[in-house]
Amino acid sequence: MSIFGDIMSAIFGRSAKAETPAAGTAAPSASAAPKASPAPSGTVTREGPAPEGPKVEWSAPVDVTAVLDGLAKQNKQKLHWRTSIVDLMKLLDLDSSSTARKNLAEELHYSGDTKDSAKMNIWLHKQVMIKLAENGGKVPDDLKH
């Protein structure tokens, strides 16, 4: 699986565990899921970011901020996931090494100099938030700009 796929799985999977939908839950509106298509079960199916990524089903958009804030409250370290790609990856128990971040940058088509890690990290954080939103995550605008 891709690094971004691991990020999505870590966030969206934790959301599914935390929110067990009640029987008879209505499917979300089409406007809430621009890349979605109705599945026979009445849930919404979204494709992962990588062609080889698994199809994942959610009954509603995943509130990324709520999931990450919940994880941050349980974490002993004070991680600044809202501004740091390193802290975001640490919060999700993913490899946050320079190599992993360079691989993520390549995966997300970063065209800048990967030796300028500060600039790359800022770009990565923004792109991850944008991609989470594109793939069914509810992400506040201030985290995508």
User: Which tens digits make up the pLDDT trace of 14-35?
Assistant: 765 544 444 334 444 433 434 4
130 φ/ψ angles, rounded to the nearest 5 degrees: -65, -45
Distance separating the N- and C-terminal Cα atoms of the chain:
27
Residue 36 banded pLDDT, cuts 50, 70, 90: very low
Mean per-residue pLDDT over the chain, rounded? 79
For the beta sheet containing 37-38, the strands, ordered from the edge strand earlier in sequence to the opposite edge, are 37-38, 44-46, 56-58
Give burial (CB, 10 Å; 0-12/13-18/19+) of 51: exposed
- Whole-number pLDDT of residue 90: 98
44 pLDDT above the threshold of 60: no
Give burial (CB, 10 Å; 0-12/13-18/19+) of 108: middle
Q: Among 40-44, 45-49, 98-102, whose mean pLDDT is lowest?
A: 40-44
- Whole-number pLDDT of residue 26: 42
Question: Is 143 within 8 Å of 129 (Cβ atoms)?
Answer: yes
Higher-confidence position of 41 and 113: 113
- d(Cα 129, Cα 11) in Å, to the nearest integer? 12
Mean pLDDT value across residues 34-45: 40
User: Which tens digits make up the pLDDT trace of 65-112?
Assistant: 999 999 999 999 999 999 999 999 999 999 999 999 999 999 999 999
- d(Cα 111, Cα 21) in Å, to the nearest integer? 41
Q: Is 0.75 topped by the overall pTM?
A: no
- Whole-number pLDDT of residue 145: 82
39: left (phi over 0), alpha (psi -120 to 50) or beta: beta
